[in-house]
Amino acid sequence: MHRETRAAAHWQEMSACRREDPELFFPIGDTGPSLAQIEEAKTVCRECAVVEPCLQWALASRDTHGIWGATTEAERRRLRLAAIRTAARA
């Protein structure tokens, strides 16, 4: 198995979300009742030992669905845009 693939599998095996219903991390929207679901998912993420590798994976893979690394789709989009702007200034 490729070293990066093994590393990816390792952090996922340690994730707190593995013990949760996957639907929690894929809210239907980002308003109304979905806000409580988003906050509940983020609470799980914030208590997770591998929240940072999870976020980095989501940013690198450009995953646009669900809660990853305690961020929503829109939050990850903003992080990617900020990184692009920073790189452009350098």
> In this predicted structure, what is the pLDDT of residue 3?
52
Phi, psi of 71 (to 5 degrees): -130, 150
- The pTM of the whole model exceeds 0.95: no
H or E stretch at 74: helix 73-89
C-alpha angle 59-71-13 in degrees, rounded to nearest 5: 70
pLDDT average per 10 residues of sequence, the chain (90 residues): 55 92 94 95 96 93 90 95 89
- Answer for the pair 54, 69: CB distance below 8 angstroms, yes or no: yes
